[in-house]
Structure 1
C-alpha cells in the first residue's frame, strides 16, 4: 500500500486549517512505519476510503461476524497499527472495524476544517452510515475515548455500548505533565532519543519507541505531522450524566495524562449506566499492557447488552 495521492503535505495546508505532514520525506517515513505496523496485524477482510463532508476516512474490517461490531478509535498521533496487541483478542468476540481518525496522521485525509464538537461527531456518523452499521460497540483509547463520548452525546441511538480506555479530556483536565510531553515531543529539533524518553514517560516506562512498531508510528506522527484540530473541551458533569448508554470506563493508575483519582471520582458519580474500573498498575499505554483483560471486560459488557 503506497502513500495516498491526496495526503496533505506542506505548510500551505496550515493556512487552510487542515492537518498536514511537514514535508515529503517525513510523510514517506511515516507511511513506511505505518506499512510495517500494518503487516504485523491480522489480514483485513476489507478496507475503505469513505468520503465525508470533512475529508476521506480510512476504515479496515477484521472478520465477517454478522452481529453488532466493535469499532476501535485510536489515541492521538496514532492510527490502525496501534491495535497490534488487541486485534487477535477482540476479533475473537466479533467483527472489528478500525478507523484512522480524521485530522490525525494516518491514511485518513482531512479536506475541510473541523471546528466544533458537532462536526467531530458528524464525520464519524457519516462513516458508520456509509458502512451500513446502524448500531456499534465503540472502544476508544485516550483521545479516541473522548471521540466516543462526543459521538455518543450527539448520536446516542447508534451506540450499543462504549469501552473507554483511560479517555483523555473526558473525566478530568489534561495534566501539566502531559502538556510538557506534548510540547516537548513535537519540536522538530528534539533528538529522537529524548522524544523516546518522553513517550516512555507517558507510557509508564514502556520500551523505547522504535522497539514497537506502533511506538515508532506515534513518534513519527508527533514529529512529522501538524494537527489543526480544535483542542477537545472536557465534558461537563451534566453532559456525562446525559450519556445514557452502557459504558465501561477504565482509569489507569499510572497515567500522566490526568489526575487518575479525579477522573475516577467523576466517572463514578456521573455515568448513568457506567461500570468504572481502576487499574492501579496500568499506564496510559494500557491497550498494549492488558490486551487479554481489555477483551475479557469488553466481552462482559457486550454480553450484558446482548442479554438485555
Structure 2
C-alpha cells in the first residue's frame, strides 16, 4: 500500500518535516532501522549518559511537530528518543507485515532492542499515551516513569470504554452549562 500519492508529495512532506526539525533549537541525529513492521524513524538528542526518555506522538502527527517546543529543554536532562509512529505521518515506512498483523508491543520491543535500551522513561500524547501505557503494562521491567497526556489506559473491557463515553459524550455533543457542571462534578 502506497502512503503518498506521488514522489513530489512525499518530498513536500519531508521538506516540511525537516524545516520543523531545524526549529528545535538543539542538536539532533536522525536514524532509521528495520523492525518487524517496516522502517522506523527516530530522532535522538541529548547526552547518551542521561536517562533515556522515549517519546511517542499522537495520531496524525509526527515527532518533528509534536515535540518542537519541548525538545530543547528535554534534551538538557534526558537522552531523548522521539519515535515516528509506524503508519503515521512521519518518516517511518510500514511494510506489508504492518498491514497484516501489526502488534504494538512487538514493534516497541524492536525499537528498544535496536537502541540497546535496558530501562527508560516513556512519554506520550493521545495515541502515543496509549502506546506508553500499553508498553508499561506489558513490560514494567523496562519502564522507570511514565508521563502521558490525553490518552487512555489500554483495556479489553467494554465497560471502561462505555463509562468514558457516557461521562463525556453528552457534554461534548450538547455543551450547556448544566452538562459542563455535571462533567466537572
Q: How many residues align?
A: 161
Q: Please, which of 129, 138, 161 is the counterpart of residue 145 of structure 1? A: 129
Q: Which moved more, 1:69-78 or 1:21-30?
A: 21-30
Unaligned stretches of 5+ residues in structure 2? 161-166, 172-183
Number of the residue aligned with 2:88? 104
Partner SS, residue 106 of structure 1 = coil
Number of the residue aligned with 2:168? 259
Contact persistence 1:62–1:95 (CA under 8 A): yes
Partner SS, residue 57 of structure 1 = strand
Structure 1 residue 155 displacement after superposition:
1.7
Number of the residue aligned with 2:180? none
Partner SS, residue 259 of structure 1 = helix
Q: Please, which of 35, 48, 52 is the counterpart of residue 35 of structure 2? A: 52
Q: Distance in 1 between matches of 2:43 and 2:90?
A: 12
Contact persistence 1:114–1:120 (CA under 8 A): no
Unaligned stretches of 5+ residues in structure 1? 1-12, 15-19, 172-233, 241-257, 263-279, 281-308
**Where do 1:181-260 residues align within 5 Å?**
235-236=155-156, 259=168
CA RMSD of aligned residues (A): 2.6
Partner SS, residue 107 of structure 1 = coil
Q: Please, which of 3, 12, 19 is the counterpart of residue 36 of structure 1? A: 19
Q: Distance in 2 between matches of 1:109 and 1:52?
A: 10
Number of the residue aligned with 2:44? 61
- 1:271-302 C-alpha deviation (Å, 9 max, x unpaired): xxxxxxxxx9xxxxxxxxxxxxxxxxxxxxxx
Q: Distance in 2 between matches of 1:24 and 1:135?
A: 39
Divergent runs of 4+, >6 A: none
- 1:186-239 C-alpha deviation (Å, 9 max, x unpaired): xxxxxxxxxxxxxxxxxxxxxxxxxxxxxxxxxxxxxxxxxxxxxxxx5246xx
Structure 1 residue 65 displacement after superposition:
4.0
Partner SS, residue 77 of structure 2 = coil
Going by fraction, where is strand more abundant, 1 or 2? 2
Number of the residue aligned with 1:22? 5
Kindly tell me: are residues 47 and 25 of structure 1, through their superposed partners in 2, closer, same or farther at Cα, counting changes over 3 Å? closer
Q: Distance in 2 between matches of 1:60 and 1:96?
A: 8
Please, what TM-score do these two structures have when normalized by structure 1? 0.48
Number of the residue aligned with 1:89? 73
Number of the residue aligned with 1:73? 56
Contact persistence 1:70–1:138 (CA under 8 A): yes
Q: Distance in 2 between matches of 1:114 and 1:127?
A: 18
